[in-house]
Amino acid sequence: MRRIRIPGPVKERATRPFLWLQRSFRQSPPAFRRGAAMLVDAAIVMESFAVALLFRFEGDVQWEFWVSFWPFALAGAALFVLLLHINGVYKSILRYTGIYQGVRIASATSIATGLLFIADVTFDEVLGYYPAPRSVVLVGAALAYMQLVAVRLYPRVFYELSLREVGRRKRTAIVGTGEQGVALAGHIWRTAAMNTQVVGFVSDSPSEVGNHIEGVPVVGTIDGIEEIIAGHGLDQVIIATPQASREQVDRIWRTCVRSRVEVKVMPDLGELLAEGTIRLRELQIEDLLGREPVDIDLEALSGYINGKRVLVTGAGGSIGSELSRQISRLGPARLVLMDRDESGLYYLGGELRREEFNAAELVVGDVTNPERVGYVFERFRPQLVFHAAAYKHVPMMELQATEAIINNVYGTLNVARAAGAYGAEKFVNVSTDKAVNPANVMGATKRLSEMIVREMAGVYPETVYASVRFGNVLGSRGSVVPTFRQQIEAGGPVTVTHPEMIRYFMTIPEAVSLILQAGAMAEGYATYVLEMGRPVRILDLARNMIEIMGAPDVQIKFVGLRPGEKLREELSEEGEQRLPTGHPMVYRLVSENEGPPGGGDLQELVDAMVYEARNQEAERAVRLLQRAVPNYSAADLPEVAPREEDGPFFSS
């Protein structure tokens, strides 16, 4: 492709003499620089008043006016310089002059003008003459302000123009003319290490095309991205707009792939504030899902978490660790992290300490051990409990049914009972869409855990119990995206169970944010379901990942449904009605078939089920599970000999 070179707004040779002068000035001693700046400012003030006087008399100033004017101008210059010094103007670095410095100069100018005006009136009243006409004071002050600001803007203008024209850089277009796009462009101009030259902005609004932002043109819209790449000889496109739809991101990505142009994504402003720097990342599969940004009521969450003692079970897992991170930023008095995975806990604790959060308590323990659970509640007395400890991999749990029952059912019972017995304010159970019309052991145990939470709400009415149900999360351990990524990196094939397999997806951070939001709004027993957006076909996901990772030769292999898998997951059952809440992405489920909490006692059935599971009586345990969850549609026993193609990972 022939590249068209567009000249920059200012040639490097034009700025070279000024840059030499600027560097020499910066290398001089601070006292010399401040003294020189004061002399320049004094000269500007005197010149401004002199010009105002010439304007006042149309260039014909009588001698007696000049005689009284110069002492007044000298005094005015001294007053201006003094007030500029008091306001800290001389401590600013010239090449970073901005609005803040302009406000400081305006403050000093306003005070100086008022004092000079009062002095002029006083001279007239007391001595019978005025050093300068009053209009000269006002006009001269306005001229002085404009020149004092302008003289400080020149170094910044030449500095930024010089950065844009140094060396050969990647010709880049930024998609997005909002705050993120403009902030990114400013960062690029000031950071030579990024090796990037911004040649234009790409907008989603045709009305902005042809306008300029910081001297850089808006060269077109997203719909014309192919012509923009060809016409401007781009090396790179950076997506810096969180409002871009899935279709827009997909169009940009596919066009850039065809044109062999790099695609980068700028994180949202929340990530930037957390990290303190701008780090572009590669386009990820999450960017192609087109999910709307999650709007979180931080004030409600802060009031809900701040100053409270919080317990997170399963804290070393994907959801539990992200819960811990987000809760730690909301100011809990103490955050108790419980998991039997000591390595996961150790690394999570180190991460929180690096973020200067020192209120975390790491507890190695198993939720299926009631004595350990009781000890944790007795010692730390948590007010809020987030129960995320669970086995979640469907094929594994089909072959390990007894462990799924012990962990997901008995573990939930232990923690939920302890929460009520020790007076916790709220208990939030993390559930799954696989609990809806369950077709596998994992889903059935999670459905039963929801029923247990409902039962505990009737037994312990002082504690608010809730379950939050959602679909698959991207990036969790063992989920489809990291699995596909590993297969692509290994050269394939990418294994897809069925060409019509469809799933709902959301990212881990947004799922956790909505779990916290649901917990904050819960005032009595409820089951909440999260808005998962549009479903995604797994085959399309695999194809997109192969293209994103630049591996067109990797093949896709269909391996058939694994034990317990469904082609399409659901978020609610027949008879469950989704009611809106105070958040557009959180719904409350109301079942037509359920009575009030505590209407039936599951204790005897659960005890018998756990007894059989502990004795490795899988058949009996599963029969009891089917009795507890009548719509569990499993036809075969789960713990059977593994298939040869499953490999050793799935062995029982």
Residue 449 belongs to some domain of the structure: yes
Could you tell me if 253 and 244 are in contact, meaning their C-beta atoms sit under 8 angstroms apart? no
Domain termination residue (choose one: 97, 132, 163):
163
Could you tell me if 427 and 455 are in contact, meaning their C-beta atoms sit under 8 angstroms apart? no
Residues 45 and 124 both lie in one domain: yes
Residues 179 and 111 both lie in one domain: no
Chain center to CA of 40: 46
Residues 139 and 213 both lie in one domain: no
Domain termination residue (choose one: 112, 144, 163):
163
Residue 565 belongs to some domain of the structure: no
Residue 483 belongs to some domain of the structure: no
| Cβ count near 3 (within 10 Å) | 10
Could you tell me if 401 and 636 are in contact, meaning their C-beta atoms sit under 8 angstroms apart? no
SS3 category, 402: helix
Amino acid 515: pLDDT: 92
At residue 349 the predicted structure's pLDDT band, cuts being 50, 70 and 90, is very high
Element of type H or E holding 469: strand 464-469
Residues 77 and 155 both lie in one domain: yes
Domain termination residue (choose one: 96, 131, 163):
163
Residues 191 and 328 both lie in one domain: no
Residues 31 and 178 both lie in one domain: no
Could you tell me if 416 and 465 are in contact, meaning their C-beta atoms sit under 8 angstroms apart? yes
Q: How far apart are CA 178 and CA 216, in angstroms?
A: 14
Could you tell me if 9 and 161 are in contact, meaning their C-beta atoms sit under 8 angstroms apart? yes
Could you tell me if 220 and 206 are in contact, meaning their C-beta atoms sit under 8 angstroms apart? no
With 80 as the cut, is the pLDDT of residue 77 above it? yes
Residues 66 and 155 both lie in one domain: yes
Residues 608 and 528 both lie in one domain: yes
pLDDT tens digit string along 549-599?
A: 777 788 899 888 777 677 777 777 777 888 888 888 888 988 766 654 554
Residues 179 and 159 both lie in one domain: no
Q: For the purposes of burial, counting CB atoms within 10 Å of the CB of 258, is it exposed (0-12), middle (13-18) or buried (19 or more)? A: exposed
Residue 485 belongs to some domain of the structure: no
Residues 76 and 209 both lie in one domain: no
Amino acid 489: pLDDT: 85
Residue 482 belongs to some domain of the structure: no
Q: How far apart are CA 550 and CA 324, in angstroms?
A: 35
Structural domain harbouring 143? 12-163
With 70 as the cut, is the pLDDT of residue 274 above it? no
Q: How many residues does the chain have?
A: 652
Residue 2 belongs to some domain of the structure: no
3-state helix vs strand vs coil in the chain, percent to 5: 50, 15, 35
Amino acid 6: pLDDT: 38
Q: How far apart are CA 606 and CA 601, in angstroms?
A: 10
Tokens of 500: 């019509």
Torsion angle defined by CA atoms of residues 539, 541, 545 and 548, in that order, rounded to the nearest 10 degrees = 120
Torsion angle defined by CA atoms of residues 615, 619, 621 and 623, in that order, rounded to the nearest 10 degrees = -160
Domain tally, the chain: 3
Amino acid 344: pLDDT: 92
Residues 237 and 138 both lie in one domain: no
The domain that holds 394 is classified in CATH as 3.40.50.720
At residue 98 the predicted structure's pLDDT band, cuts being 50, 70 and 90, is low
At residue 225 the predicted structure's pLDDT band, cuts being 50, 70 and 90, is confident
Residues 412 and 439 both lie in one domain: yes
Residue 499 belongs to some domain of the structure: no
**Average pLDDT of every residue of the chain:** 80
Answer whether 0.85 is exceeded by the pTM: no
Residue 497 belongs to some domain of the structure: no
pLDDT tens digit string along 43-75?
A: 988 888 888 878 777 767 666 667 777 888 888
